[in-house]
Structure 1
């Protein structure tokens, strides 16, 4: 019998060159943060060859948990409920994996928004704002929400009007900059991790909009307007978190291409524009925003195994994530049918998205 191998020599994997381990780790990180964490847990050598996300979870965008969302427990078990014992579950929208994380902050914080997988939290007692990475525990402190109240025409007692927001994040040399859109007030404010108060952008006002989409440090708004011929048009505006410039009009949809309502959703690193292509609301059309900005109105014929949910918070979910998800479909509450419908892009056909029991 040959002698037993020493632990370090049982597998050649532990002795891989550090630069090769780092190359593999960055490619894994391009897919999902948890795959990167699993690689670092394989052995001491691999862990020492790769960068720890802890301490960098917020300031390094590579470590943002983009395709994870907080999972609704139901049965009245909101985040912070005593029966959850300070734990909260997160769902991966691509794989369907669940991660259970201990988040004691929910004892006295509420969630204002989620951006790039990070949680924008507000502390109850003093409106302190924090950007929190749920997996690494990293926190970036921002000025309290009340700090910009002196610049507003709305009284501080009207705080619930400030909480419905859409946030975007940009990072430069370790400095985090956040722009928030106050949806009910049609204004925006910006602050960095080095500021003591929010800068309230009063020199311009947001166009009326619905369903803002935050994407890579920018926000996109859909605005309905009417031309001189009394025909409604859909316009898309862009705001940049690192700028204080007013919203920039980037595209106007002709009525024959898309008509109200129009939705924006991120899918496979692209922004898709979803809406009806006729006033009878019979069919849906999907375009890539990058195409229509270049005046190329090329309909997207398939989204593969993904399903898009629009209305409220717009999401793109893989059919691999949950068994009830049907790929290549769009699900939303149809304005004419007044219940959730499912539109198949491949066949251009409608079906019920839920059974009768699910809507009770």
Structure 2
């Protein structure tokens, strides 16, 4: 196929002029042919469904601002995106394609939590792979606090009635869920303050949308509830799964592609670690369905296995298992896909990324942030300093100056690493 030349980009008199499709002075100027009209609908929608997370967010922002004539990029691509994509308005949560994956709320530091008066209702988000930073106005934080971020969608709690609300930070779409206080009877703490603190401390949460009913479903695991809690938009209260009861405070939970993955520790040295995949409920009356997908043993044959700890992390769209020992600074990294095949292959390179480890884990590109050392694990060590473990040679070095626990001791301006590590701890939100 010979594609027609529509516009010229040369210099001189012909710059920006429309070429003529015919021969002679009476020819009619050729009109720009929209790209979507050149592709079959099935192929076009397939391409759009495979867009990276950052492109999906750009699509959302184009559609939301398409009516603003001052936005040059919106006017340039308005016809293309309107004819080729679904508008994210009112579908930012219902359509998983518009979930802002890879985006994370950026804690400002120095006590400037979301909703602080000095921020005037604005918050900033940054992309873990590209380093792009977006500042948006979200008035919801006047009476809400953040509990978690799942695929970039914020999990909020309303102050006066503890109702849970999902918020898309770029489109403003929301989804209502039951109050958090309906889970208080299931919390394993005695004092009222401890019960609320452990209930608001979310180890992992995931969002899915029912194919048949189009309802939003959320599964989450508060640290104070030793099981999976789940609810559907429109429910009056949260429910707790009853099909298994092996999850406890030492289990590692990871949300991944709308599902939860839980690593269960053995009770004895002869036991095996088990990785459970938990699928969301299929309908309103069903429960999450667990499935055993991998088993592996501790790398020791004595009682020191209790000193080892494993956790699940996401890196480059795959699940990694990170193991460490409490009395020694040593990390071992495995791919879950290898463990499912019965292979224990140490990973010494994570494609130049860095893993930030805290209450939760984040995979950050060193190409987007030059101060981050590639192929490292960044974490606060026992002295509360920020350290980095080099996977290639197994050495440890100090990542930044200053004490993370006391922000006044960190010399200004902050390093981006200090901001990112606070993303792993909801207490800074």
Report the TM range for the smaller structure's normalisation. Answer: 0.7 to 0.9
Preserved contact between residue 132 and residue 139 of structure 1 (Cα < 8 Å): yes
Q: Is residue 2:313 matched to residue 1:272?
A: no
* Aligned residue-pair number: 354
Alignment of 1:145-224 (within 5 A): 145-147=180-182, 158-165=195-202, 166-173=204-211, 174-202=214-242, 204-208=244-248, 209-224=250-265
In structure 1, the residue matched to 2:278 is 239
Preserved contact between residue 234 and residue 260 of structure 1 (Cα < 8 Å): no
Aligned mates of 1:203, 1:70 — CA distance in 2:
34
Aligned mates of 1:32, 1:138 — CA distance in 2:
19
Q: TM-score, normalised by structure 1?
A: 0.85
Structure 2 unaligned residues grouped into runs of 5+: 1-12, 19-27, 64-73, 410-429
Aligned mates of 2:346, 2:30 — CA distance in 1:
51
Deviations 1:109-159 (A, max 9, x none): 111111111111111011111111111111111122234557778799543
For residue 44 of structure 1, the aligned residue among 78, 83, 100 is: 78
In structure 2, the residue matched to 1:284 is 331
Q: TM-score, normalised by structure 2?
A: 0.72
Give the CA deviation at 1:72: 0.7
With over 3 angstroms needed to count, the CA separation of the structure-2 counterparts of 1:151 and 1:136, relative to structure 1, is same
Q: 1 or 2, which has the higher strand percentage?
A: 1
In structure 2, the residue matched to 1:130 is 165
After superposing the two structures, state which structure 1 stretch, 309-318 or 27-36, moved more.
27-36
Structure 1 unaligned residues grouped into runs of 5+: none
Aligned mates of 1:28, 1:246 — CA distance in 2:
29
Give the CA deviation at 1:351: 1.8
Q: Is residue 2:37 matched to residue 1:18?
A: yes
Aligned mates of 1:297, 1:287 — CA distance in 2:
7
Q: Is residue 2:354 matched to residue 1:307?
A: yes
For residue 343 of structure 1, the aligned residue among 389, 392, 395 is: 389
**Could you say what the CA RMSD is over the residues aligned between the two structures, in angstroms?**
3.4
Deviations 1:168-214 (A, max 9, x none): 22212321111121212313321111423222335643422244211
Q: Is residue 2:295 matched to residue 1:252?
A: yes
For residue 330 of structure 1, the aligned residue among 377, 385, 402 is: 377
After superposing the two structures, state which structure 1 stretch, 302-311 or 200-209, moved more.
200-209
Aligned mates of 2:106, 2:32 — CA distance in 1:
36
Preserved contact between residue 25 and residue 39 of structure 1 (Cα < 8 Å): no
Q: Is residue 2:78 matched to residue 1:32?
A: no
